[in-house]
Structure 1
Amino acid sequence: MAKLKLLKNLLFLILIASCAYIAISITGRKNAPEENFYTPSGFEKTADKPFFAKQDKKDYGAFLQTIQTKPIFAPLYVEEKQVLATKSREELSNTINSLRLVGIISKEPRRAIIEDKNSGRSFHVKEGESFLDGITAVEISQSSVVLTYGGEQFELYL
Structure 2
Amino acid sequence: MLVLRRSNVPPDVYWGQALRIMHKIKNVLERSEFSPIFLGISEGKNSMIILIETRFHATPTPRIVSGPPTSASTENILSFIRKYRGRSIAGPWIEGQRIVFLVDESVLLSDFLEEYVKTIKIEPSFTSFEIIDSPSKMLEVAREEEMLQDMYSLVIRREILNYIDE
TM-score per shorter chain, which class?
under 0.3
**Greater helix content:** 2
Q: TM-score, normalised by structure 1?
A: 0.21
More strand by share: 2
Tell me: higher relative CO, structure 1 or 2? Use CA pairs within 8 A at least 6 residues apart: 2
- Higher Rg: 1
